[in-house]
Structure 1
Amino acid sequence: MRIMLACQAGMSTSIIVAKMEDEAKRQGKNYKIWAIDQSLIEKEIGNFDVLLLGPQIQHTLRKVKKIVDGNAPVAVIRPMDYGRGNGAAVLEFAEELIKEGE
Structure 2
Amino acid sequence: MRILVVCGAGASSTFVAQRINGAARAQGLAWLAVATNEVSLTDEIASSDLVLLGPHLAPHLARISALAAPNGVGVVLMDADAFADVDGTRMLARIATAVQDGTVRHDSGEPH
TM over 0.5, shorter chain: yes
Q: State the Cα RMSD in Å.
A: 1.4
Q: What SS does the corresponding residue of 1:12 show, helix, strand or coil?
A: helix
C-alpha separation between the residues in 2 aligned to 1:98 and 1:3?
12
What TM-score results when the alignment is normalised by the length of structure 1? 0.89
5+ long unaligned stretches in structure 1: none
Match of 2:27 in 1: 27
Match of 2:15 in 1: 15
**Residues 32-52 of structure 1 deviation map (CA, whole Å, 9 limit, x = unaligned):** 111101111121232111111
The amino acid across from 2:93 in the alignment is E
Match of 2:109 in 1: none
Q: Is the 8 A contact 2:4 2:45 kept in 1?
A: no
Match of 1:99 in 2: 100
Does the C-alpha gap of structure 1 residues 83 and 64 become closer, same or farther in structure 2, counting only changes over 3 Å?
same
Structure 1 segment 44-55 matched on structure 2, within 5 A: 44-55=44-55
What TM-score results when the alignment is normalised by the length of structure 2? 0.81
5+ long unaligned stretches in structure 2: 106-112
Q: Is the 8 A contact 1:9 1:38 kept in 2?
A: yes
Q: Is the 8 A contact 2:52 2:77 kept in 1?
A: yes
Residue-pair matches, total: 101
The amino acid across from 1:42 in the alignment is T
The amino acid across from 1:20 in the alignment is I
Structure 1 segment 73-84 matched on structure 2, within 5 A: 73-80=74-81, 82-84=82-84
C-alpha separation between the residues in 2 aligned to 1:28 and 1:45?
25
C-alpha separation between the residues in 2 aligned to 1:26 and 1:64?
30
C-alpha separation between the residues in 1 aligned to 2:76 and 2:19?
19
Q: Is the 8 A contact 1:48 1:72 kept in 2?
A: yes
The structural deviation recorded for 1:83 is: 3.5
Match of 2:110 in 1: none
